[in-house]
């Protein structure tokens, strides 16, 4: 069964929201000391990566995020997630 591309994007959104919510206000040391949260964050990033890979090429062509990017959806989602995560962990 093939999902609509929006379903994959929804999966990405859910994981990004989880990462941002679960790491909000944490200091880097707190995050690193919490093995359960670290493992959950890694799993969320895996889910994001898998969902991004399944967004069809045709959909990516119809909705290009940036010119010349190999996987614009994946790059933007991961960049946004990691940037927000780092900002959240650093308290900025």
Q: What is the pLDDT of residues 50-87, one digit of tens each?
A: 888 888 888 877 776 544 445 555 555 566 666 666 66
pTM for the model stands at 0.64
pLDDT classification of 90: cutoffs 50, 70, 90 = low
Q: 56 near 85, Cβ under 8 Å?
A: no
* Cα–Cα dist 17/13, whole Å: 6
pLDDT in tens, 15-62: 988 988 888 888 878 887 888 988 888 888 889 888 888 888 888 777
Quote the pLDDT of residue 66.
43
Q: Are 55 and 5 a contacting pair, CB within 8 Å? A: yes
């Amino acid at each position: 069964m093939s999902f609509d591309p929006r379903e994959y994007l929804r999966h990405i959104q859910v994981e990004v929201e989880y990462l941002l919510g679960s790491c909000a206000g944490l200091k880097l040391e707190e995050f690193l000391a919490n093995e359960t949260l670290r493992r959950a964050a890694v799993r969320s990033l895996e889910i994001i990566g898998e969902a991004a890979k399944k967004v069809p090429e045709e959909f990516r062509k119809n909705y290009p995020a940036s010119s010349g990017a190999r996987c614009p959806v994946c790059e933007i989602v991961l960049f946004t997630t990691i940037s927000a995560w780092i900002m959240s962990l650093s308290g900025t």
